[in-house]
């Protein structure tokens, strides 16, 4: 490929874009090193600077000195709902509908089984089909298949483009990834939610690759249930607990398949029978993972003054710029983007398909060796995630230049 802007032109453009970046001050709130271009925040977000001191306080004072008193005095018991509401703001959910805990996989299980059970109304069990996004991250498909076995449903795997047409009177629930983890394709959440609802079915959205990267609008679009992880764009840390959203009017009908004591209306009553709590706590299971949960809470402080619209605008500018730089630097025929060019169809990552699939893993490793950390998804994708809170345009230009050298 040619070099239309020239290296110098693209570098100057990057500098101008960085100077005009409304979010540029945010980078200083993260632990990053200028030698490495970190483009893997769609796998594990970087560490917010405020987290270590907060965790030291949780361990040293709240656990070390207050011990069991911290469940009430340090707000440990109510942390799943409190942190849930903070995530809710970032995904367009009003307070009282989002709870944090467990992994995404476990929350997919709760959401899918509960959605199927919602379809077991007076009309019997006519809705016995679970639709699954054919390109889903594997865990959702595995869990949905198990949920189907447990509830007497059958699984239909459908490309997201065909999902609206595939949903019908037998559909209990559709499980869809908002952003495809491989290609970075953003699916049309409002249209698909409306299409599935028109058939009387429910929809569960997996927001792992969209929470913290773009505006989601769960309430505005009438989404039934949603799940997502917090260790990618929300920077909650390795193994940070996931979240579960249950729309307020559906909460009384949310019959959890994992009704642990934390979801009881009166957990400390220790009653032999389960009476579900009202509201978001109904999605809880057992004792929350307090250290991870409170690390996540501290990580969320970086979002306090952030406008999601600015995040989305920068995300698109970063991915646009990366695509242009890659076009200029990568020799013709060595790699092609599988990420949609249209903004409405793009999440916050770019995936390049390398011409020689067998070299992809080696190329990703070589990029890391040269200070550009993205990742490889088999068989032939190089994946680059762009975190608007800390990725700079200068880094984008550098990453594309190194990529060009590696692929040359």
Ligand X SMILES: Nc1c(O)cccc1C(=O)C[C@H](N)C(=O)O
Ligand Y SMILES: Cc1ncc(COP(=O)(O)O)c(C=O)c1O
Counting residues that bind ligand Y (by CB under 6 A) gives 13
2 is in an annotated binding site: no
Q: What is the largest distance, in Å, between two alpha-carbon atoms of the chain?
A: 72
**Whole-number Å distance between alpha carbons of 251 and 236:** 26
Catalytic, out of 109, 181, 231, 321? 231
| Residue 137 a catalytic site member | yes
Catalytic, out of 30, 109, 137, 181? 137
Q: Which of 46, 113, 114, 208 binds ligand Y (CB under 6 A)?
A: 208
105 is in an annotated binding site: yes
**Whole-number Å distance between alpha carbons of 27 and 50:** 13
**Whole-number Å distance between alpha carbons of 330 and 400:** 8
4 is in an annotated binding site: no
| Candidate ranges 4-12, 97-105, 158-166, 255-263; the one touching ligand Y (CB under 6 A) | 97-105
| Residue 206 a catalytic site member | yes
**Whole-number Å distance between alpha carbons of 293 and 343:** 33
The CB-of-228 to ligand X minimum distance in angstroms stands at 11
What is the three-class DSSP state of 309?
A: helix
Partner in contact with 157, chosen from ligand X, ligand Y, none, beta carbon below 5 to 8 Å by kind: none
Query: Residue 199: CB partners within 8 Å, gap ≥ 6?
Result: 167, 168, 169, 171
| Residue 231 a catalytic site member | yes
The CB-of-293 to ligand X minimum distance in angstroms stands at 17
| Residue 383 a catalytic site member | yes
Contacts (CB under 6 A) with ligand Y, residues 227-256 = 229, 242
The CB-of-237 to ligand Y minimum distance in angstroms stands at 12
Helical axes 360-369 vs 393-407, angle rounded to 10°: 130
- Give whichever of 21 and 133 is closer to ligand Y, judged by the CB atom: 133
Which residues form the interface with ligand X (CB under 6 A)?
Answer: 43, 137, 181, 208
| Candidate ranges 101-109, 125-133, 326-334, 376-384; the one touching ligand Y (CB under 6 A) | 101-109
- Give whichever of 137 and 384 is closer to ligand X, judged by the CB atom: 137
Q: Which of 38, 77, 109, 181 binds ligand Y (CB under 6 A)?
A: 181
**Spatial contact of 131 and 163, defined as CB atoms under 8 Å apart:** yes
Q: Which of 15, 18, 74, 105 binds ligand Y (CB under 6 A)?
A: 105
Q: Which of 81, 129, 206, 395 binds ligand Y (CB under 6 A)?
A: 206
Helical axes 138-151 vs 104-118, angle rounded to 10°: 40
The CB-of-315 to ligand X minimum distance in angstroms stands at 16
Q: Which of 177, 315, 337, 387 binds ligand Y (CB under 6 A)?
A: 177
287 is in an annotated binding site: yes
104 is in an annotated binding site: yes
Q: If phi over 0 gives left and psi between -120 and 50 gives alpha, with beta otherwise, what is residue 27?
A: alpha
**Spatial contact of 353 and 370, defined as CB atoms under 8 Å apart:** no
209 is in an annotated binding site: yes
Contacts (CB under 6 A) with ligand Y, residues 293-352 = none
- Give whichever of 177 and 348 is closer to ligand Y, judged by the CB atom: 177
Catalytic, out of 102, 133, 180, 206? 206
**Whole-number Å distance between alpha carbons of 335 and 323:** 11
**Whole-number Å distance between alpha carbons of 366 and 80:** 41
Q: Is 233 exposed, middle or buried (0-12, 13-18, 19+ CB in 10 A)?
A: buried
**Secondary structure element (H or E) that encloses residue 350, with its range:** strand 349-354
**Whole-number Å distance between alpha carbons of 110 and 131:** 16
Contact status: 104 vs ligand Y (CB under 6 A) = yes
**Whole-number Å distance between alpha carbons of 10 and 244:** 42
| Candidate ranges 18-26, 48-56, 133-141, 167-175; the one touching ligand Y (CB under 6 A) | 133-141
Any idea which residues carry the catalytic annotation? Answer: 137, 206, 231-232, 383
For ligand Y, the binding residues (CB under 6 A) are 103-105, 137, 139-140, 177, 181, 206, 208-209, 229, 242
């Amino acid at each position: 490929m040619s070099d239309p802007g020239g290296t110098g032109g693209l570098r100057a453009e990057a500098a101008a874009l960085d100077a005009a970046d409304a979010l540029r001050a945010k980078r200083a709130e993260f632990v990053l090193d200028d030698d490495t271009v970190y483009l893997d925040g769609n796998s594990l977000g970087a560490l917010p600077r405020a987290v270590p001191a907060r965790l030291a306080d949780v361990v040293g004072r709240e656990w070390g000195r207050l011990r069991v008193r911290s469940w009430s005095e340090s707000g440990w018991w109510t942390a799943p709902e409190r942190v849930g509401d903070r995530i809710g703001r970032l995904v367009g959910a009003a307070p009282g509908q989002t709870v944090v805990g467990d992994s995404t996989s476990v929350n997919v299980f709760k959401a899918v089984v509960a959605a199927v059970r919602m379809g077991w109304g007076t009309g019997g069990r006519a809705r016995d089909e679970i639709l699954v996004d054919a390109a889903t991250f594997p865990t959702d498909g595995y869990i949905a298949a198990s949920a189907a076995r447990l509830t007497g449903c059958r699984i239909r795997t459908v490309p997201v483009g065909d999902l609206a047409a595939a949903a019908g009177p037998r559909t209990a629930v559709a499980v869809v990834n908002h952003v495809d983890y491989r290609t970075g394709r953003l699916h049309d959440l409002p249209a698909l939610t409306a299409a599935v609802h028109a058939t009387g079915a429910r929809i569960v959205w997996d927001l792992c690759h969209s929470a913290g990267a773009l505006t989601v609008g769960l309430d505005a679009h009438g989404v039934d249930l949603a799940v997502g992880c917090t260790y990618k764009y929300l920077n909650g840390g390795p193994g940070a607990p996931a979240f579960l959203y249950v729309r307020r009017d559906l909460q009384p009908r949310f019959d959890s398949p994992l009704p642990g004591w934390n979801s009881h209306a009166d957990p400390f009553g220790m009653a032999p029978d389960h009476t579900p709590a009202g509201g978001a706590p109904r999605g809880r299971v057992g004792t929350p993972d307090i250290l991870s949960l409170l690390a996540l809470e501290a990580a969320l402080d970086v979002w306090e003054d952030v406008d999601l619209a600015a995040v989305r605008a920068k995300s698109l500018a970063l991915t646009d710029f990366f695509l242009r730089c890659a076009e200029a630097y990568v020799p013709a025929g060595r790699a092609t983007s599988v990420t949609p060019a249209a903004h409405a169809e793009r999440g916050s990552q770019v995936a390049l398909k390398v011409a020689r699939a067998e070299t992809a893993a080696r190329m990703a490793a070589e990029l890391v060796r040269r200070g550009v950390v993205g990742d490889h998804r088999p068989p032939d994708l190089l994946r680059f995630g762009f975190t608007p809170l800390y990725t700079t345009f200068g880094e984008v230009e550098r990453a594309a230049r190194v990529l060009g050298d590696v692929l040359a």
